[in-house]
A and B are shown apart, each in its own frame.
Chain A
């Protein structure tokens, strides 16, 4: 591609050297992770993509982003070490998906307020009778649960990163502890 070649030149880069740059540090063992979202605003996903600004190079050496729809198309659920799950569970279909994730991961970490407490996504549980009358036809039409569930009401949860959205520091601390547990340096 013409502009790519020009770009090498503009940046004063050697193509062969650059090709090698990614694989120069071969990892011995990586943490296989998945990142999933259910009913939520995906604010913690955005915080995660912002964490990549400073941690991408370090993480790609020790983490295999095996399932991450927000960043890649080809994803695999099999044999995950850790599943990070954001959002509350709003339907039987979502509950089934969550159980499938649970079956395929060694640890499941609830990310953010909706996953840990079901709120604010599940705010309808605090609605008045009048408000319920308004939303009930839609709940039925789209086969949603009357009340959304936090993750531990559906599956075993091994830990959580609180916040709305999760704070960067809390996630980094949780990740550090997981890496230690899986003996990945």
Chain B
């Protein structure tokens, strides 16, 4: 006999920020899944108004500690477009390096410290023993390298002081670049055992959906390209908002989105599905056996895609660090009053910034759409499918269902601080 169930998981662990999930089951059929991003609103979009454009990249960096550098670079890109600035080759390279440092550190944090305990059936890395401890040593070495890359290029791994609209206020020193290159080369080989682990530990979260990412540049990077979807549709960055529809989720403090009326996924899996041919030759060569997996509709492969991106970021950075760096000057602005859009790939996917300036260079209004907001509706559909499968298999243990939902959510590596902050799970079964 089916009975009423009321399950709650508070604060999904090993993710950035806080969230809850509500699942309603009626006569053995999952009817409703609600992901609630209940982070208390901090009103950053409202706070943009009246700010001088120079302060915006530092201000919106505070939306999220982990994606801080993406917010800085996203805001700068939108403002540069608004001000008609074309950053130099060197400034662009420094931005790429900043993003690469962020990806290495952030992906490693997720893959080792958040995701790997699921593989070893441990609660946390603090319970690791034996060879698991060796992976942990690798994790710290890789994270440290990403952190050092960001610190040397951008001034810090969190809320970086060097990147500004149109220029970097400091450029890396020769001796730091030499040390950095050595460190990146040393950690590159440490990534592969982790890739082996993720490619062999298979979980099936397959469901057909749309994947959307920046595309069309070689080598693939996180700043350039048009927005392409797995259905073949391609649009300019400036037009992205026109294709997005708000999905109001009354139970969540974040707004969800549909892309041309369909749910979609952004992030490393989308990027790899659409860009695997645009990776650097050395990345493609050494990641050949892992790249076979893509394109994939299995959200679990988001982990593998992140791991491959670590290799790509190391290889891309080693190339960029061969260029000579000269001191940069703040560019002169000709006209303030304009609108600019900046779309970049944050670790978790497309990050959209739009800024409108007045003659004094103050923000009149702005808009920010974060990746985890865009993935929210897709995550709900995946959880619905997962819970249905578990119920169909006769799973009755509420704790097992909770744990499995958390694992699925972790595969997305969501950032709820960005989307907003909080996860409870409520399962209601009605006879």
- The interface residues of chain A lying within 8 Å CB-to-CB of B325 are none
B159→A72 contact, CB < 8 A: no
Given contacts A3-B200, A72-B13, A73-B14, contact A120 B46 (CB under 8 A): no
Interface bits A22-59 vs B (CB < 8 Å: 1, else 0): 10000000000000011111111111011011101000
Query: Closest A-chain residue to B193, C-beta based?
Result: A7
- The interface residues of chain B lying within 8 Å CB-to-CB of A165 are 65, 158-159
A22→B140 contact, CB < 8 A: no
**Interface-lining segment among B89-97, B123-131, B162-170, B340-348:** B123-131
Query: Closest B-chain residue to A56, C-beta based?
Result: B140
Interface bits B173-199 vs A (CB < 8 Å: 1, else 0): 000000000000000000001001100
Shortest Cβ distance from residue B48 to the other chain A in the assembled complex, whole angstroms: 10
The answer to the question of B59 belonging to the interface, with a C-beta cut-off of 8 Å to chain A, is: yes
Measured between alpha carbons, how far is A90 from B40 in the docked complex, in Å? 6
- The interface residues of chain A lying within 8 Å CB-to-CB of B159 are 43, 164-165
The answer to the question of B157 belonging to the interface, with a C-beta cut-off of 8 Å to chain A, is: yes
The answer to the question of B34 belonging to the interface, with a C-beta cut-off of 8 Å to chain A, is: no
B contact residues vs A (CB 8 Å cutoff) = 11, 13-14, 16-18, 38-44, 46-47, 49-50, 59, 62-66, 68, 105, 109, 113, 117, 123-126, 128-131, 133-136, 140-141, 143-144, 147, 157-159, 193, 196-197, 200-201, 253, 403, 406, 417, 421
Shortest Cβ distance from residue B390 to the other chain A in the assembled complex, whole angstroms: 18
Given contacts A2-B200, A120-B62, contact A49 B43 (CB under 8 A): no
Contact check: which of A65, A73, A134 meets B13 at CB < 8 Å? A73
Contact check: which of A6, A22, A124, A135 meets B133 at CB < 8 Å? A22
Contact check: which of A19, A41, A60, A142 meets B63 at CB < 8 Å? A41
A18→B62 contact, CB < 8 A: no
Measured between alpha carbons, how far is A53 from B143 in the docked complex, in Å? 7
Enumerate 23 A-B pairs (CB-CB under 8 Å) in ascending A order.
A1-B200, A3-B196, A6-B196, A7-B197, A13-B131, A15-B130, A19-B129, A40-B65, A41-B65, A43-B62, A46-B66, A47-B65, A50-B105, A50-B144, A53-B143, A54-B140, A68-B124, A70-B14, A71-B126, A73-B123, A142-B253, A165-B65, A165-B158
Given contacts A60-B126, A72-B124, A73-B406, contact A123 B43 (CB under 8 A): yes
- The interface residues of chain A lying within 8 Å CB-to-CB of B17 are 42
B421→A53 contact, CB < 8 A: no
B130→A41 contact, CB < 8 A: no
Measured between alpha carbons, how far is A68 from B17 in the docked complex, in Å? 12
Measured between alpha carbons, how far is A7 from B41 in the docked complex, in Å? 45
- The interface residues of chain A lying within 8 Å CB-to-CB of B197 are 3-4, 7
Shortest Cβ distance from residue A48 to the other chain B in the assembled complex, whole angstroms: 10
A21→B40 contact, CB < 8 A: no
Given contacts A41-B63, A42-B16, A53-B144, contact A19 B43 (CB under 8 A): no
Query: Closest B-chain residue to A6, C-beta based?
Result: B196
Measured between alpha carbons, how far is A72 from B14 in the docked complex, in Å? 6
- The interface residues of chain B lying within 8 Å CB-to-CB of A7 are 131, 134-135, 193, 196-197
Measured between alpha carbons, how far is A56 from B136 in the docked complex, in Å? 10
Shortest Cβ distance from residue B365 to the other chain A in the assembled complex, whole angstroms: 10
Shortest Cβ distance from residue A39 to the other chain B in the assembled complex, whole angstroms: 5
Measured between alpha carbons, how far is A121 from B63 in the docked complex, in Å? 9
B128→A22 contact, CB < 8 A: yes
Given contacts A4-B131, A7-B134, A11-B134, contact A120 B13 (CB under 8 A): no
A142→B40 contact, CB < 8 A: yes
The answer to the question of A173 belonging to the interface, with a C-beta cut-off of 8 Å to chain B, is: no
Interface bits A119-131 vs B (CB < 8 Å: 1, else 0): 0111110011001
The answer to the question of A10 belonging to the interface, with a C-beta cut-off of 8 Å to chain B, is: yes
- The interface residues of chain B lying within 8 Å CB-to-CB of A122 are 42
Shortest Cβ distance from residue A22 to the other chain B in the assembled complex, whole angstroms: 5
- The interface residues of chain B lying within 8 Å CB-to-CB of A120 are 42, 59, 62
Measured between alpha carbons, how far is A1 from B141 in the docked complex, in Å? 24
Interface bits A86-125 vs B (CB < 8 Å: 1, else 0): 0000110010000000000000000000000000111110
Shortest Cβ distance from residue B56 to the other chain A in the assembled complex, whole angstroms: 13
Measured between alpha carbons, how far is A138 from B158 in the docked complex, in Å? 29
Contact check: which of B40, B63, B117, B157 meets A94 at CB < 8 Å? B40
B14→A71 contact, CB < 8 A: yes
Measured between alpha carbons, how far is A142 from B42 in the docked complex, in Å? 12
